[in-house]
Structure 1
Amino acid sequence: MISYVSRRLGTSLVLTVLVSMITFFLLSNSFDGVVRSILGTAATSATVQAKKAEMGMDRPVIVQYADWLFHAVRGDFGISYFTGQPVGTAVADHLTVTLSVVVTALLITTAISVVLGVLAASRGGVIDRLAQGASLFGYIVPNLLLAIGLVVVLAVELDWLPATGYTPFTENPGRWAASIVIPVIALTVGGVANLSAQIRGAMIGELRKDYVRTLRTRGLSPGSIVLRHALRNAAGPAFTVLSLEFIGMLGGALIIENVFALPGIGSYSFSAALQGDVPIIMGLSLFGVLFVVGVNLVVDVVNGWLNPKARIQ
């Protein structure tokens, strides 16, 4: 198991370095535009070149990347070109907002999906058709369209919830909850569609296996068979899908946060990209890679622990 984890860590490290290097090299093509954004449109070519030399952008790109990587490994991700705020602090501030929405949506998605998937597989009939209909709705309706519809109905027409904005939990828990309800619903619907379908399929496969028939002949209650045996064995594939949903929800925040004017990672990434704020973009891209790599690593380790064949492969 230690060898398995070590291989996964090594692969993850190489992937992180490669992605950060490619990102930096792509950004290097826009250094002139970034400097002009800082100095203003009236800046002359000589002024631009002088500013690039001052910022170290006149050095070879590989040297600039090596310098950034050296500082990043030590926890120094640089300073924003436009706000002067340390990148680590800026990312942490906006990450709190994003995680408050994504983690809440993920918890609700998991709870609803487990209930729907288990009931659909074990009861069948009308409940199964309703669960499949809910999954189909989640597949068909895009998050953006659903978010706009929820704003129109719940915020504009009924005036139950705020249409935009975010209130920190520490400032007012009630307003915080109200400010994330619509974004959470928009993210949850698609997540439930994917995860509940996966749980349903895995549960149906488990309930048809021989060991389930053996447990029934021994007199175990249906609830015990479903929850203590079939659901536990179906948890592996469902866990993999759940991890993918977590990553997908974080990516969906880029759209959702701009729709609802939430000061999270998604909206911050968008504004940083428009400004060409290279340190912020590099910090956010590094966070994104580490997040995806970390989630995949956890999934690999858990699957390797549950299934020895995965470790061999």
Structure 2
Amino acid sequence: MERLRSQGPMTVEAYMEACNTYYYATRDPLGAGGDFTTAPEISQMFGELVGAALTDVWRRAGAPANVRYVELGPGRGTLASDALRVMRSAGLSPPVHLVETSPTLRQAQAALLGDVTHHDAIGDLPGDSPLLVVANEFLDALPIRQHVGSAERHVEWIGTGLAFDRDGEIVETSPARDEAVRALSEGLVALGGVALVIDYGHARSARGDTLQAVRSHRFAPVLDSPGENDLTSHVDFQRVGEVAQDAGAFVAGPVEQGAWLERLGIQARARALANASPARAGEIEAARARLCRPDQMGSLFKVLAIHSPEWPKPAGL
């Protein structure tokens, strides 16, 4: 607000970046006591199947001994914990590298995972070995630009509150997202490896306003309480694929999350967990349904793989 008063209107991109930088640096936003819940927090099955998919593609790539596990925006480390458990049971125990800027979440990740190496950006990752990368709900939090016609949309201070300076048919772009995908893809082409990008969004580029705010597991007005809400936008998977291919990487997908998990065997895993813990059978089935059903996370969330030309595409895509 002080910036708006002193410097005038700021772009939607600058507003989103400022809000999310403060938001993620000052709290653990996950779980029942936070603002939102991600797939790994819903069920161990999600992370386990991610780990199985990475192990499978690693084996089909010739099982290189020096591979690293990398996660972008790993939350509390829940997904990594479940994925690595499966990978280690299959004989793959890679060093763990996490791209995370939040001090609060870094502490939680280290407590859960033990020996990890943190990085501030994708470009800081080691450049000497193939990468097994997971980016679950990472791209949606990167700042976007919005245009109405040829004019960029801004946030301004009017009277006693915040407002957008223009409305109309909106076109969204994200230079920050493009930069992240390009850096990731160039690393995979140079080093070998694969990335699983899992997020909510649309398979084809489309016009429209997808900027949203979430607080206490409910949608909130985007301009209310700056820095106290989680601001995200839908990922344009067509654009992600184009940027990756322009960098020389191969792309598979996107496919809907529900279909992908079903192809990887989530029903069989759910049955095994229910047989081992009959008292939790209802809970396990509810989690599977939440991850897979089209009216829950199954259709809105997509899975796209980016891989080096020398590596095969992951299963399920």
Larger Rg: 1
Q: Same fold (TM over 0.5)?
A: no
Whose RCO is larger (CA < 8 A, sep 6+)? 1
Question: Greater strand share, 1 or 2?
Answer: 2
Q: TM-score range by the shorter chain?
A: under 0.3
Taking structure 1 as the reference length, the TM-score comes to 0.25
Question: Greater helix share, 1 or 2?
Answer: 1
